[in-house]
Amino acid sequence: MVMPVGDEADVIRQNLDYHLAQGVDLAIVMENESTDGTAEILGEYAERGTVRLIRRTGHYDQGPWVTELARLAVEEEGADWVIPNDADEFWWPRSGTLKEALQGVPASAGALVCRRVNFATRPEDGREWWERMTLRQVESVNGMGWDLPPKVLHRAHAGIVIKKGNHRKVPPESGETIQTDALEVMHFQIRSYEQFERGVVRMGRAHEADPDARPRRAGRARRRQYQLWKRGKLRSYYDDRVVAAPDSGVVEDTRLRDFLHSLYASTERIGSGSG
């Protein structure tokens, strides 16, 4: 699994614990100028040998960074599959473990296109985000209201390239790209106001640092939210538009909560799930 991260202290521990328990052999993580304790958490996993930690300064550049990590996974770590992930995404197998699901993929397949589903933000009540975020959107959409794009994972091959966002199919030389329902990506993008504001400001400043970049659909919602933050209106936007009411097109889905409860209870680490 490969991930560039920055200021993800509230979610990175659960992400690593979950995917390692699902059979991921190694996470290659690029940490980018975190100030919230993310780097220290990653250091714990690096000491155990379950994370290869790379530190990177400069403005976040997702596509090239993820491609760099993916090639390290192939060329130096002997990966069979490369999972380009984000800290707020959890790859859920329909049956068995993630590793078992990938072992059952036909040899002709070079990439899998997997459905992604959003979990609704819930009011903060003292519980951890993974305990209270159990409402899944019936129709998952992005910040602009468009259908949430899927994610792609890749069989390891020389010259692998990961496009920004990892939503696109791979070149045909890597094998057939197939749509599958054997895996689903659970997306927990907005977990608290503090985390939401930090992400908006981080992304907005990165866009400001690259004023010559052409407008792109990706990141457009974040840029609009950044303008709200600059006008002091982000908190009201969050309260009015982001936190979901129980009847706002959602269904109860406790898969991740139940998995993590079981995982932390079985390892006597229920407290360390707090991030």
- pLDDT digit string (tens) for 157-180? 888 888 765 545 555 556 889 999
Domain count, the chain: 2
Structure confidence by residue, pLDDT tens digits, 45-94: 999 999 999 999 887 777 889 999 999 999 999 999 999 999 999 999 99
**Do both 101 and 33 map to the same domain?**
yes
**Do both 125 and 153 map to the same domain?**
yes
Assign 3-class secondary structure to 25-46: CCEEEEECCCCCCHHHHHHHHH
**Do both 149 and 260 map to the same domain?**
yes
What is the model's pTM?
0.88
What is the end-to-end Cα distance of the chain in Å, rounded? 20
What is the chain's percent helix, strand, coil content, to nearest 5? 40, 20, 40
**Do both 270 and 235 map to the same domain?**
no
**Do both 183 and 216 map to the same domain?**
no
**Do both 231 and 265 map to the same domain?**
no
- Name which of 85, 119, 82, 114 is nearest 256 in CA terms: 119
**Do both 123 and 196 map to the same domain?**
no
- Name which of 84, 77, 72, 140 is nearest 111 in CA terms: 84
- Fill in the DSSP letter of residue 215: P
Going by their DSSP bridges, the two strands 151-155 and 109-118 should be labelled as: antiparallel
Quote the pLDDT of residue 158: 81
Going by their DSSP bridges, the two strands 135-137 and 81-82 should be labelled as: unpaired
**Do both 82 and 212 map to the same domain?**
no
Specify the CATH number for the domain of residue 185. Answer: 3.90.550
Distance CA 217, CA 109 (A): 29
Sheet bearing 51-55, strands edge to edge:
2-5, 27-31, 51-55
Task: Name the maximum alpha-carbon separation found in the chain.
Answer: 53
SS3 label, residue 174: helix
**Do both 65 and 98 map to the same domain?**
yes
**Do both 53 and 173 map to the same domain?**
yes
For the chain, residues with pLDDT lower than 50 are 167, 213-215, 217-218, 269-272, 274-275
Token couple for 122: 């819930």
Distance CA 63, CA 83 (A): 14
**Do both 68 and 177 map to the same domain?**
yes
Which domain covers residue 213, as residue numbers? 192-244
Give how far the C-alpha of residue 213 lies from the chain's centroid of Cα atoms, to the nearest Å.
24
**Do both 62 and 128 map to the same domain?**
yes
